[in-house]
Chains A and B, each alone.
Chain A
Amino acid sequence: MRTICPLAFIAAALMAAPLAQAHHSFAAEFDINKPVKVTGVVTKLEWQNPHIWYYVDVKNDDGSVTNWAFSGSSPIQLMRRGIRKNVLEPGMIITVEGSRAKDGSNNAGGSKVTFQDGRSVFTTVADDPNEKKN
């Protein structure tokens, strides 16, 4: 016979909890109020914990080149989302949208990567505020 438990009703009434980003919060390192959108050539990929980093040479208006570094999620989380190391290879031309590091350097939280053929991928998890906006 099924037991009726008051706590079961309480549990059933629970709403889905809001969720958060692993390792550290987005706000710990990046400023959502400093959006970054650049297009350039991938120069390097660090597929390492706790976050991947990928580097992009971006040509400035005066002809100089700035190397930007973008942080993504962990290799484990990306792999479990079906995103593998070969998603970003040196020489690829990509557009990256994200948020600049709080120290104002040319580092950023890279959220959305768009490839030349129009495909796009998020290199972060779904609680990245930039991903939430899309």
Chain B
Amino acid sequence: MTRPVAIISLFVALIGCLAAETPAGIPRTTDGKPNFTGIYEWPKSAGDKCDCSATIFDKKSIGQLKPGGEPFFEKPTGDPRHDEPRDFCMPAGFPSGMLAAYAIQIFQSKEYFVLIHEFQRMSRIVPLDGRKHREELEPSFYGDPVGHWEGDTLVIETTNFKRWSLDDHFYMNPNESRMHSDALRTIEHIRWKDAKTLSYLLTIDDPKIFSAPWSQEFTMKARPDWDSTGLMEYECQENNRCPAGHCQGH
């Protein structure tokens, strides 16, 4: 059963009005678009001062579960490759990996918007040329993104995900994971909040699990001081010695 179009339309309209204002003095490209090229901290929640290593969604922002929908919370199965896949260097996926506490470097051109995350060297190459999602691809951990400009806001819509952990909630509560389904669609609204900070509004639209799309706004602080090192190497298999608590090599 599809959700009422009116609800989705209202939601998109509300999201749009959040992105209405542009601060003065932001960097722009030669064609006048806001220029996001640079190095940033990972998305953080409002007021977050923790020197921790990933952000997770605030439970207050998570939408209402759809009656009879796919389970959002999933208990451990006892198979560590399922319950803690990153302990075996499996991919974080999107959006979970985007929220890991590592640097993010953005490269921007007229045709592409590229985000490279230091954690797992996650790379997302977002075409901006108006193309549609590719239909021939198998579902993936990071999905298929396409982007476009809405005024001074860059909008990225991503589809075609594998079912996977939505975020790192299970780190704080080992008794449950928060999952997204293979119907997940994410919408990112990226804009300058002030001259040193990006607003990163992430919308989760997962009609198999939630009654309606929901959003959380994060901020990403520009870190030009990290230019001196750039993104550092992250090779998960280099010395992953204790997968599932079974230690090797000692």
A interface list, Cβ under 8 A from B? 2-3, 5-8, 10-31, 46, 48-51, 53, 55, 67, 69, 71, 73-77, 79-81, 101-103, 105-107, 125-127
* A50 and B236 in contact, given A71-B242, A126-B51 (Cβ under 8 angstroms): yes
Instruction: Assess the B239–A50 pair: CB atoms within 8 A.
Output: yes
The CA of A12 and the CA of B47, in the complex, are separated in Å by 10
Question: Main SS of the interface on chain B?
Answer: loop
Partner pick for B50 among A22, A74, A126, CB 8 A cutoff: A126
- One digit per residue, 1 when the CB lies within 8 angstroms of any chain A CB and 0 when it does not, for chain B 232-245 equals 11111011111111
- Chain A residues near B55 (CB, 8 Å)? 17, 19
The CA of A67 and the CA of B240, in the complex, are separated in Å by 19
- Chain B residues near A102 (CB, 8 Å)? 244-246
Tell me, rounded to whole Å, the shortest Cβ–Cβ distance linking A76 to chain B: 5
Instruction: Assess the A17–B45 pair: CB atoms within 8 A.
Output: yes
B interface list, Cβ under 8 A from A? 14-15, 17-18, 20-21, 45-58, 60-61, 80, 84, 86-87, 89, 100-103, 118-119, 168-172, 174, 201, 215-217, 226, 229, 232-236, 238-247, 250
In the complex formed, the residue of A with least CB distance to B102 is A76
- Chain B residues near A46 (CB, 8 Å)? 239
In the complex formed, the residue of B with least CB distance to A52 is B239
Tell me, rounded to whole Å, the shortest Cβ–Cβ distance linking A37 to chain B: 19
Tell me, rounded to whole Å, the shortest Cβ–Cβ distance linking B174 to chain A: 5
Instruction: Assess the B60–A48 pair: CB atoms within 8 A.
Output: no
* Interchain residue pairs with CB less than 8 A apart (23): A6-B14, A8-B18, A13-B60, A14-B58, A15-B60, A17-B45, A19-B55, A22-B102, A22-B119, A24-B86, A25-B170, A26-B171, A30-B245, A50-B236, A50-B239, A69-B247, A74-B234, A79-B232, A80-B226, A81-B51, A125-B101, A126-B52, A126-B53
Partner pick for B239 among A15, A48, A73, CB 8 A cutoff: A48
- Chain A residues near B52 (CB, 8 Å)? 19-21, 125-127
Instruction: Assess the A25–B53 pair: CB atoms within 8 A.
Output: no
In the complex formed, the residue of B with least CB distance to A31 is B245
Instruction: Assess the B48–A17 pair: CB atoms within 8 A.
Output: yes
